[in-house]
Structures are given as C-alpha cells and as structure tokens.
Amino acid sequence: MIVLGIESTAHTFGVGVTKDKKILVNEKDTFTTKEGGMIPNEVREHHEKVKDKVLRRALRKAKVTIKDVDLISFSHAPGLAPALIVGRDFVETLAKKYNIPIIGVNHIVAHLEIGLATTKAKDPIFLFTSGANTQIIAHEGDYYRVFGEALSIAVGNALDKFGRNIGLGFPAGPKIELLAKEGKYVELPYKVKGMDVDFSGIVTKATQLYEKGVPKEDLCFSFQETCFAMLVEVTERALAHCEKKEVLLIGGVAANKRFSDMLDIMAKARKAKAYTVPFEYAGDQGAMIAYLGDVMYNSKNYKAPGVIDIDPRQRIDDIKTFWR
Ligand code: AMP
Ligand code: MG
C-alpha cells in the first residue's frame, strides 16, 4: 500500500511517501525567519505557497504518481489552526479529485511511533521535546500517558524565544547548539516541580544577562545545560516509577547532540538504554504521518470516523492506541 503523509501542524509543510510502511521519501519546506519568531498567518501563507511544489517533489522522488496513492494520511491534531487548515483543505481536494481515502492522525503519536520504528526501543519512556510540546510519556494500558510536562512553554519554544531575544531568528535551537560549544557555565533558574518543568523564568533571566553584557556563547551553553538537566532529571524519575529500562528522545530538540549525550549518561548510570530518533525524523515531517496512517488504517481494530476535521488541542492521553 502506498501512503501519502501530509504534515502541516506548525512551521513545516511536509510530504512523506511510504510503501508498505517503508519510507520512500520525506520532503519538506520549513518556515524560517532571519530575526523574528513564528507568526501563525505567515506560516499559513508559507504552507499555501509551497504545498504543491513539495508534493510534486515528493511524488517525483518516490517515482509514483498521485494515482498510485492508496491512502492519504494527514496530521489533523494538535497544532496551529491556520496551519492545520491548509493541510486539511489540501488533502480534501486531493482525496475528492482522485477518489482516495483519508485518515487523520495525531502529530504527537506520529513522533512517538516513528521513534519506535526507527530505533530498537520497544517500551521506553518517551522524552518528547519539540517546538510546541515537552512531555514525558509512557505507554500503559492502551493509552500513551503523560507523566510530566512543561508547565508554561515547551523547551523548543524556550530555545526559540531566547534565540529571538538575542537576534538569532527562527528556529534558534541549531544556532544555540553551535554557540554553546564555545561557552562556559553561568547560573540560570533551574525549575523542576515534581514531574513537571518550567522554562519561562530561564528565558527572562538569560535575556536580562545578555542585556547586561554576558557573552552569547556562555548563555547558550548554560541555557542548554540547565534545560536539558531538568528534563533528564524528570525522565530518570519516570524510568524509576514505571520500572522501564529504555528511554527514547524524540521531537525537534532531539537533534541536539549534547541533549542526547546527557540522556545517555543518565541511562548508563542506571543500567538502562537511551535511544535518540535519527536526525531526519526528529523534527516535523511527513514520513511519520504516512507511516502512522498506514499502521492505523491497516489495524484490524480501525473504524473509519464519520467526519475528519482538525483538532488543534487534542491531547494524546485521550487517544486509545487500538493499533498497538
Ligand atoms: P518540531 O516542532 O518537532 O519540528 O521541533 C522544532 C524545534 O526543535 C524548534 O524549537 C527548534 O529550535 C528545535 N531544534 C531543532 N534543532 C535543534 C537543535 N539542534 N538543538 C536544539 N533544538 C533544536
Ligand atoms: Mg512536532
């Protein structure tokens, strides 16, 4: 079965193609800025502008035509409504024109499942860190359960906000990672509350220190060390509580080598195993959407819903994992 996966929950418009759950191509175009942050309407315009081009490129590279596609999967939740609408309208038009069934999948579940599909992790604690979300998740009794999360802003968003304040543009995470290599430690607020973490204070403090002349490099280094240490701490607690022996780092921030190394150090110390999703599948992309669409659609428990629409605020702990 050939599945087309369309991703448009946030900054990235992605098109993936899978054949019998094997990824053929993973094409994308990401909204970026030189200075400011991500503005929802500008993101919508970006997706409108690139969608046909990205689809054509994906089909060409996969050596298939739209008529070969058996199923269209799209990320219908959660995300920025203006961005989600572009994806929904796009797949509805394609589905009608070529008479192809549609399935809507949850974007976060797609991050989790592509992590399982591309690593050896079987039943891990998921450390999911992206632009909009930061959650510590485990699968228990037919649901993905959230054991801890960021209380105010997600870690990716914290990196992007701080980056914007010091003139790095969007997305800032990769640039902060580079600058951090030249930095030394300065103290920043470390806020862990039980199983939750809070990143709002650290953005304010680091920005103030920058304005007082503390070097960018030192702040980038310390920002990473502090945020990642907080997340590793709560992940360790989740491992102990759930009695699991694996941890899997997923989402856009999983591209950070230092983060993945810190998780590895913690895991080794408690004889657990740390996995990180391959770089290509860390950030938002369409391959994970196509893959999950195939898995769900071909599960014997799948029932087609009457209406398929966007759901900007859907939480993963409300979704029964009938395909597992
Ligand atoms: P996602 O929403 O899953 O696509 O993830 C996007 C987020 O990942 C953005 O906040 C980026 O700044 C962040 N990100 C991407 N690459 C890196 C990196 N190398 N280090 C830290 N954060 C990163
Ligand atoms: Mg994402």
Same domain, 207 and 250: yes
pLDDT surpassing 90 at residue 92: yes
* Whether residues 92 and 28 fall in one domain: yes
Give CA torsion, residues 149, 151, 154, 158, to 10 deg. Answer: -140
**In angstroms, what CA-CA distances link 142 with 42, 205, 246, 273, 322?**
38, 41, 19, 23, 7
In a domain, 76, yes or no: yes
Domain shared by 161 and 269, yes or no:
yes
Rounded Cα–Cα distance for residues 4 and 289 (Å): 8
If we measure between CA atoms, which residue out of 25, 86, 72, 36 comes closest to residue 312? Answer: 86
Please determine, for residue 257, whether its predicted confidence score (pLDDT) is greater than 90: yes
Query: Do residues 268 and 126 share a domain?
Result: yes
Say whether both 185 and 76 belong to one domain: no
Atom of ligand 1 nearest to the CA of 154: 10
Of 276, 292, 308, the one marking the end of a domain is 276
Q: Is 150 part of any domain?
A: yes
- Name residue 148's beta-bridge partners: 136
Summarize the confidence of residues 1-29 as an average pLDDT.
Answer: 98
Q: Kindly give the number of the ligand 1 atom that is closest to the alpha carbon of 224.
A: 21
Domain shared by 57 and 162, yes or no: no
Specify the CATH number for the domain of residue 73.
3.30.420.40
Q: How confident is the model at residue 181 (pLDDT cuts 50, 70, 90)?
A: very high
pLDDT at 172: 97
Task: Please compute the mean of the pLDDT values over residues 133-153 and round it to a whole number.
Answer: 97
Q: Could you tell me if 270 and 304 lie in one domain?
A: no
Tokens of 172: 């800032």
First to last CA, the chain: 19
Whether pTM > 0.75 for this model: the answer is yes
324 in a structural domain: no
Flag whether 163 is in a domain.
Answer: yes
Q: Is residue 195 predicted with pLDDT exceeding 90?
A: yes
- Considering the domain boundaries, does residue 18 fall inside one? yes
pLDDT of residue 266: 98
Q: Calculate how far, in angstroms, residue 239's C-alpha sits from the geometric centre of ligand 1.
A: 24
List beta partners, residue 125. Answer: 138, 247
Q: Which helix (H) or strand (E) holds 76?
A: strand 71-77
In this structure, the answer to whether residues 60 and 206 fall within a common structural domain is: no
Average pLDDT, the chain: 97
| Mean pLDDT to the nearest integer, 298-315 | 94
Query: Quick check: is 116 in a domain?
Result: no
List ligand 1's pocket residues with C-beta within 6 A: 10, 130-131, 156, 159-160, 171-174, 177, 251-253, 255-256, 283-284
Q: How far is the CA of 282 from the centre of ligand 1 (A)?
A: 8
- Tally the domains of the chain: 2
Q: Looking at ligand 1, which atom is closest to the CA of residue 177?
A: 20
Q: Which atom of ligand 1 is nearest to the CA of 282?
A: 3
* Domain limits for position 28: 2-110+282-318
Residue 38: predicted pLDDT: 87
Q: Is residue 85 part of a domain?
A: yes
Do 247 and 147 share a structural domain?
A: yes
The mean pLDDT of 85-105, rounded to a whole number, is: 98
In this structure, are 140 and 271 located in the same domain? yes
**31 lies in the same domain as 73:** yes
Which residue's CA lies nearest to atom 22 of ligand 1? 173
In a domain, 168, yes or no: yes
From 84, 127, 159, give the residue whose CB has the most ligand 1 atoms within 8 Å, as the site to mutate.
Answer: 159
Whether 38 and 147 share a structural domain: no
